[in-house]
A and B are shown apart, each in its own frame.
Chain A
Amino acid sequence: MTGAAWSEKYDLVVGLEVHVQLSTNTKLFCRCSTDFGAAPNANTCPVCLALPGTLPVLNATAVELAVAAALALECDVQPVSVFARKNYFYPDLPKGYQISQFDRPLALAGRVAVGTKPDGSTHSIGITRVHMEEDAGKSVHDRFPGASAVDLNRSGVPLIEIVSEPDIRTSAEADMYLRGLKEILEYTGVSDVSMEKGSLRVDANVSARLHGAPALGTKTEVKNVNSFSGVMRAIDVEFARQCALLDAGGTIQQQTMLWDADANEVRPARSKEGSHDYRYFPEPDLPPLVVSTDRIELIRISLPELPAARRDRYRRSHTDLTAYDVDVLTTARAIGDYFEALTAASGDAKTSANWLMGEVLASLKDTGGTVADFPVAPAALGELLSIVKDGTVSNSAAKKVFAIMVMDGGTPRAIAEREGLFKITDDSALLRWIDDVFRDHPDEAARFVDGERRLQGVLVGHVMKKSRGSADPKRVNQLLAARLGT
């Protein structure tokens, strides 16, 4: 049975733990580079190798970014937070403990909007806490026979862990939460939030309970999920597994499950023996982290406009945009920024939206680029849109001009000029073409002049062909009509 089918009888209850890598130059507690893809252990020093006698010193930028993220997620940033040691043995954990935060995290009580309730109010998923911690290294298991290989380049890279309330009731809701979260963090610029690069990782706490049951069921933690769609599938599969077990009178045991995307199934993780008692205690090498209220407010006011606010503003100020337009234009900060610059230049939001969502995104799809590095500046594209609007070039001609701008750059007017793509409205030129057409097609011309009106379209067609599309058809019709019955 599928998760959907089981939900007739059981509630799904999900809380998500999301680890996000902060975009700093150096690690959280040492001055090693955080660059991705260096040679194994090249980015390690006495501190992140945990050599005897070394000590951690906290990275100021990591704190700034963590506070910005917490504020963007509407959390209460704590004036004093405390680092703690999470003790367990693992080869990619050089100190034998992870420096994290435990009973006094950086921030509490935030939320992410995932939609609107029937009554029109915003439906949000609560955020329990946001805390700072260091990443562990990587263990490679398939490189050398009989041995695992440890690379500590990631060891000490700054992370924030964002823990949601168990508010999520469907896998689709989990997906909306993650998209909303990713969007906010991307807007805030604290991380490149890329699951591929491992700068965003998701663990799901999943439990099931009979409809109306008061208490939460026993939860399992599903790890090793590496795509948003994977999160949805993993949640559904684990929910179905739990329901089947419960329905057969079984009990769920609290354990870590690993998601196998290829097999589309979850398996119990081999638990790290004896590692379930982390013996947290305050990190004696780091005095408490104090963030003054002034600092917090300074970071708050320097936050960029966030997706929700931007959507509202677009709805209010561009009533001609559809809800779909607004959603597409706000999926990434750079798209909205481009849209606004383009509208400013073209003076027409709807046309700007259509071009951006049509031509621009299509061309980016081909090149695989992003709006941020799109070769055509909003101002240049805006100029093109305005010469379409004032009738200087036709829509079809404009698309040719755009293609050239993407390829070789240049300004729209220059290109239209060079390629002879301007509409010809000057009568002398048009009359010359009409005379040519009358000479080339004498009998059609004669019948038309004798009153056979239906031939007007044919003649216009001939004129357009002669002008290679640059003649203004409206004017050609008028000039032809003038010759009727002469």
Chain B
Amino acid sequence: MSVSLDDVRHVALLARVGLTDERAAALVAELNTILQHMDVLSPVDTTGVELAPSDAAPTVLRADEGPAIPLARPRESFAPKMRDGFFLVPRLDTHEDAGGAS
């Protein structure tokens, strides 16, 4: 597998990282070099090997009660742009899926 400029552009969009043409081109070369080294993994026989140890300790559950961890400083002290308690971002098109988990 070798990485193309389109791949890097696509991935940069997924990662919301702006890239100049030079940087994008350089990354194509860098990624290809790095990923070449990664090819040593493909021949390794991993049939039946899980992604995590089967004996992994289960997650610990928390009681359904407060209080929430307090903030030592108000949100306004670290937020780049706040108004009336809201975080402000550049206007989104309302036709855009306005959030809500999916």
Is there a contact between chains A and B in the complex with CB atoms less than 8 Å apart?
A: yes
A positions within 8 Å CB-CB of B = 17, 19, 24-26, 30-33, 39-47, 49, 57-63, 80, 87, 89-93, 98, 100, 133-144, 146-152, 159, 161, 198, 201, 203, 223, 256, 258, 267, 269-270, 272-275, 277, 279, 282, 286-290
Other A-B contacts than A40-B86, A148-B90, A149-B87, 20 sampled, CB-CB below 8 A, are A24-B64, A39-B85, A57-B60, A59-B64, A60-B64, A63-B61, A91-B92, A98-B101, A136-B99, A136-B100, A139-B92, A141-B92, A141-B94, A201-B100, A223-B102, A258-B95, A269-B95, A287-B56, A287-B59, A290-B58
Give the interface size bracket for B toward A: 35 or more
Closest to B58 in A: A290
Taking the nearest CB of chain A, how far is it from the CB of B62, in angstroms?
5
Known A30-B69, A144-B83; judge A49-B75 contact (CB<8 A): yes
Closest 8 CB pairs of A and B: A149-B86, A61-B64, A290-B58, A60-B61, A40-B85, A92-B99, A274-B13, A45-B68
Inter-chain contact B86/A135, CB cutoff 8 Å? no
Known A19-B101, A223-B102; judge A267-B67 contact (CB<8 A): no
- Inside 8 A of B57's CB, which chain A residues have their CB? 287
Inter-chain contact B96/A270, CB cutoff 8 Å? yes
Q: How far is the CA of A198 from the CA of B101 in the complex (A)?
A: 11
Instruction: Judge if B52 is at the interface, Cβ distance under 8 Å.
Output: yes
Inter-chain contact A150/B86, CB cutoff 8 Å? yes
Known A32-B68, A60-B63, A148-B91; judge A135-B84 contact (CB<8 A): no
Instruction: Judge if B89 is at the interface, Cβ distance under 8 Å.
Output: yes
- Inside 8 A of B96's CB, which chain A residues have their CB? 269-270, 272
Known A201-B100, A223-B97; judge A148-B89 contact (CB<8 A): yes
Inter-chain contact A272/B97, CB cutoff 8 Å? yes
Inter-chain contact A59/B61, CB cutoff 8 Å? yes
Neighbour of B87 across the interface among A30, A91, A143, CB < 8 A:
A91
Q: How far is the CA of A273 from the CA of B70 in the complex (A)?
A: 36
Inter-chain contact B61/A58, CB cutoff 8 Å? yes
Inter-chain contact A135/B101, CB cutoff 8 Å? yes
Instruction: Judge if B66 is at the interface, Cβ distance under 8 Å.
Output: yes
- Inside 8 A of B92's CB, which chain A residues have their CB? 91, 139, 141, 148
Closest to A88 in B: B14
Instruction: Judge if B40 is at the interface, Cβ distance under 8 Å.
Output: no
- Inside 8 A of A43's CB, which chain B residues have their CB? 68
Closest to B60 in A: A57
Return 9 A-B CB contacts under 8 Å, by A number: A26-B64, A31-B69, A40-B85, A44-B75, A60-B61, A148-B89, A274-B14, A282-B52, A290-B58
Closest to B88 in A: A147
Q: How far is the CA of A136 from the CA of B8 in the complex (A)?
A: 29
Known A144-B88, A148-B89; judge A270-B69 contact (CB<8 A): no
Q: Which of B1-17 contact A (CB under 8 A)?
A: 10, 13-14, 16
Inter-chain contact A159/B95, CB cutoff 8 Å? no
Taking the nearest CB of chain A, how far is it from the CB of B64, in angstroms?
4
Inter-chain contact A31/B62, CB cutoff 8 Å? yes
Inter-chain contact A288/B68, CB cutoff 8 Å? no
- Inside 8 A of A256's CB, which chain B residues have their CB? 97
Q: How far is the CA of A124 from the CA of B38 in the complex (A)?
A: 49
- Inside 8 A of A275's CB, which chain B residues have their CB? 14
Q: How far is the CA of A24 from the CA of B94 in the complex (A)?
A: 30
Inter-chain contact A139/B98, CB cutoff 8 Å? yes
Inter-chain contact B14/A279, CB cutoff 8 Å? yes
Closest to B82 in A: A41
Instruction: Judge if B51 is at the interface, Cβ distance under 8 Å.
Output: yes
- Inside 8 A of B60's CB, which chain A residues have their CB? 57-58, 287
Neighbour of A282 across the interface among B51, B75, B86, CB < 8 A:
B51
Closest to B67 in A: A31
Inter-chain contact B63/A288, CB cutoff 8 Å? no
Taking the nearest CB of chain A, how far is it from the CB of B44, in angstroms?
20
Closest to A98 in B: B101
* Residue of B56, B84, B88, B98 with most chain A CB atoms under a 10 A cut-off: B98
- Inside 8 A of A270's CB, which chain B residues have their CB? 93, 95-97
Inter-chain contact B97/A33, CB cutoff 8 Å? no
- Inside 8 A of A98's CB, which chain B residues have their CB? 101
Taking the nearest CB of chain A, how far is it from the CB of B92, in angstroms?
4
Instruction: Judge if B21 is at the interface, Cβ distance under 8 Å.
Output: no
Known A136-B99, A290-B58; judge A143-B86 contact (CB<8 A): yes
- Inside 8 A of A30's CB, which chain B residues have their CB? 68-69
Q: How far is the CA of A26 from the CA of B51 in the complex (A)?
A: 31
Instruction: Judge if B65 is at the interface, Cβ distance under 8 Å.
Output: yes
Neighbour of A25 across the interface among B61, B64, B93, CB < 8 A:
B64
Inter-chain contact A203/B102, CB cutoff 8 Å? yes
